[in-house]
Amino acid sequence: MKKELEHIFRALLGILLFAMAYAWFLVPGGLYSGGFTGISQILKYLLTDLWGLAVPEGVDLTGVISWMVNIPLFVLGFRSIGKHFLYYSLICVTVQSILLSLIPPFPEPILRDATLNAAVGGALSGFGVGLTLRAGGSGGGLDIVGMYTAKKYPDFSVGKVSIIINTAVYLFAAVRNDVNIAAYSLLYSLISGLVTDRAHYQNIRVSAMVVSRKKELGGIINREINRGVTTWRGYGEYSHDEEYVFMVVTNKFEWRQLRRLLLQEDPGAFVQVIMPEQVIGNFEKRLEIS
């Protein structure tokens, strides 16, 4: 229960950071968020400005629309990613919708420089999204689509998918406003996507080579981390004592677990850690935390 509450707290903290970026940087700068939040902004514009829908003062309709358009994506998340992810996402999307609707945006941008405003806002938004994903949830929308695509197509990541799909939103921004607004919105999205990938540990792979005299260590790693382990049998060139070399590839979140396990089972083991640019073959991308 304590672990679950910690994960929920971190997920909601990420949602809060995302909502703060929206209210403090995006809206005052007249920018578009991209993704399903950006689509919700477009739908809000159609409903209020074109069709004259009355909205209570102090309420941003973007949050309500965002929750509604996420309903079909919850089904996709349930079928392809898992129940745990769905439950966390339901909580996160609901809280996010409330925060987007009720947090009052600043009347003027915090930073006068438009480029700096987009960069800082994008970094804050991306870190919030990455923190939520690391905790096992999501803010819905492109987070779910991105994680589904990342699981089905290993060369993709959540941030990359978000950048690709956002193009349509910024074309709308360019037509409705001007090219400058679209360009600053795109900068916001690019930085947000890059920071998301860095903050979302499941997207970062770690290759570990472990040299130990403990023969059963490979089996322990396999059971506890649930990753495949390749074992070589050898000996120390100086001592000629029998040793074993274990190779395992994990994501960065699992590496933290593996490090604790190695310190517990064999503190004297020699470990070489590499972060490979690419892993080809049977490496499963795990998008839920355990």
| Buried/exposed 52-73: b ≥16 CB within 10 Å, e otherwise | eeeeeeeebbbbbbbbeebeeb
**20 and 158, same domain (yes or no):** yes
Which pLDDT value is given to residue 158? 59
Does residue 182 sit within a domain? Answer: yes
- Residue 284, in any domain of the structure: no
Question: What is the pLDDT at residue 79?
Answer: 66
At 72 the pLDDT is: 79
In this structure, are 141 and 255 located in the same domain? no
Find out whether 7 and 135 touch, Cβ atoms under 8 Å: yes
- Residue 203 near residue 161 (C-beta atoms within 8 A): no
Is the same domain home to 211 and 176? no
Same domain, 175 and 130: yes
H-helix or E-strand containing 151?
helix 142-152
Out of 146, 172, 202, pick the residue that ends a domain.
202
CATH of the domain at 219: 3.30.70.120
User: Do residue 154 and residue 223 come from a single domain?
Assistant: no
Cβ atoms of 237 and 272 closer than 8 Å: no
81 and 144 inside one domain: yes
* 112 in the same domain as 128: yes
Q: Is 274 left (phi over 0), alpha (psi -120 to 50) or beta?
A: beta
| DSSP three-state, residue 104 | coil
For residues 139-170, one letter each, b for 16 or more C-beta atoms within 10 angstroms of the residue's C-beta and e for the rest, the string is bbbbbbbbbbbbbeeeebbbbbbbbebbeebb
In a domain, residue 281? The reply is: no
Q: How far apart are CA 54 and CA 12, in angstroms?
A: 30
How far, in Å, CA of 252 to CA of 96, rounded? Answer: 27
**pLDDT (0 to 100) of residue 121:** 93
Q: Is residue 288 in some structural domain?
A: no
Q: Given this model, what pLDDT does residue 81 score?
A: 65
Same domain for 181 and 89: yes
- Given 184, 202, 220, which residue is the final one in a domain? 202
Q: Which DSSP string do the residues of 78-90 spell out, in sequence order?
A: HHHT-HHHHHHHH
The Cβ-side half-sphere exposure at 144, using a 13 Å CA radius, reads 29
pTM: 0.68
What tens-digit pLDDT sequence spans the chain (290 residues)?
777 788 788 889 999 999 999 999 998 988 888 778 888 888 888 888 777 776 666 667 788 888 888 887 777 766 666 666 677 778 888 898 889 888 888 888 888 899 999 999 999 999 998 888 877 777 777 767 766 776 677 666 656 666 677 778 888 888 887 889 889 988 998 898 888 877 765 556 788 999 999 999 999 999 998 899 999 999 988 888 999 999 999 877 688 889 999 999 999 999 999 887 677 777 766 555 44
Residue 290: the pLDDT is: 44
Residue 150: the pLDDT is 65
Domains contained in the chain, number: 2
Q: Are residues 51 and 176 in the same domain?
A: yes
Residue 287 in any domain: the answer is no
pLDDT value, residue 13: 92
Q: Is residue 105 part of a domain?
A: yes
Residues 114, 175 share a domain: yes
Residue 259 lies in a domain: yes
In a domain, 282, yes or no: no
Q: Which domain holds residue 166?
A: 2-202
Distance CA 26, CA 221 (A): 45
Residues 198, 214 within the same domain: no
Domain-ending residue, one of 202, 219, 254? 202
Q: Do residue 47 and residue 134 come from a single domain?
A: yes
The residue count for the chain: 290
